Amino acid sequence: MNTAIKKLLDATSSRLGIAITRKKPDPLGGLVDLINRLETNLVIDVGANAGQYALALRSHGYSGRIESFEPVAAPYAAAVEAAASDARWNVHNYALGSTEGTAHIHVAGNAAASSSLLPMLSRHERSAPLSQYVAEEKIRVRPLAGIAEELNLVEGVFIKIDTQGFEREVLKGCGDLIPDGVVGVQLELSLLPLYESGPLAGELINWMAERGLVVEYAASGFSDQQTGELLQFDAVFVHERFQRSRDGSVSARD
């Protein structure tokens, strides 16, 4: 910030009795506020990597049950270690998809953060060279609807899906859980093709809208490291049967 402008702002804020800081808003804090307002009992963390998302939820005050799914061996082991002292957080070593079976997942070089069951397109590789695939692993794939009883799914389920282009298959595997069993869904949405046959943002937004879920919250995500162009962002969808009241709470419609 220009020194003269900073001095002017400081003088103005002092005269008005307010404080101006460079502190950025905390998007995850807003997300956890929403999760708690929806009275979420269980977070399904699909594409858990090393457990970063679950750890962040805990650090921001979410205390409910978490079921994490990470098929790649190395990050799965790290997530298990992270969850070891948390009795309400379980980690599963398989992927979620539309059908039961096995598949080969492409393991990315950036700590598996960009690993995917789909081939990566050149646009993604150019944007983040360290994300290029370095190995393959054979994994198990299961539909969420097929393991609902095994997981003891209850009302108040919030699903987060970060699967690098495989979101469509994960959503199909949810069956009637979307819309009947969820309070919200968080999706990573792509603005440009990054994975072969992966859905773009518009398709998934329409898919959710057809089931009565609309965007309540959004945050920026993956950008091109060379140009700064936004390529992916996170959106949280809330079912229309929930509405925000004047005091900020969320209640079910009749």
Note whether residue 6 is domain-resident.
no
Question: Of the ranges 15-19, 120-124, 179-183, which one carries the lowest mean pLDDT score?
Answer: 15-19
- Output the pLDDT for position 253: 47
Q: What CA–CA distance (Å, rounded) separates 76 from 96? A: 14
How many domains would you assign to the chain? Answer: 1
Note whether residue 94 is domain-resident.
yes
Over residues 46-65, the pLDDT tens digits come to 999 999 999 999 999 999 99
User: Could you list the residue range(s) of the whole structural domain that residue 164 is in?
Assistant: 25-98+143-252
Q: Tokens at residue 156, please? A: 């108040």
Note whether residue 87 is domain-resident.
yes
Question: What's 175's domain CATH number?
Answer: 3.40.50.150
Is residue 76 pLDDT above 90, yes or no? yes
Note whether residue 127 is domain-resident.
no
Note whether residue 138 is domain-resident.
no
Note whether residue 235 is domain-resident.
yes
Residue 137 in contact with residue 166, Cβ under 8 Å? no
Note whether residue 173 is domain-resident.
yes
Over residues 173-208, the pLDDT tens digits come to 999 999 888 999 999 999 999 999 999 999 999 999
Note whether residue 108 is domain-resident.
no
Structural element, H or E, at residue 75: helix 73-83
- Output the pLDDT for position 125: 85
Is residue 16 pLDDT above 70, yes or no? no
Q: Supply the mean pLDDT for the chain.
A: 85
Distances (CA, A) of 108 to 30, 72, 125, 169, 191: 30, 10, 10, 20, 21
- Output the pLDDT for position 28: 72
Local structure of 134: helix, strand or coil: strand
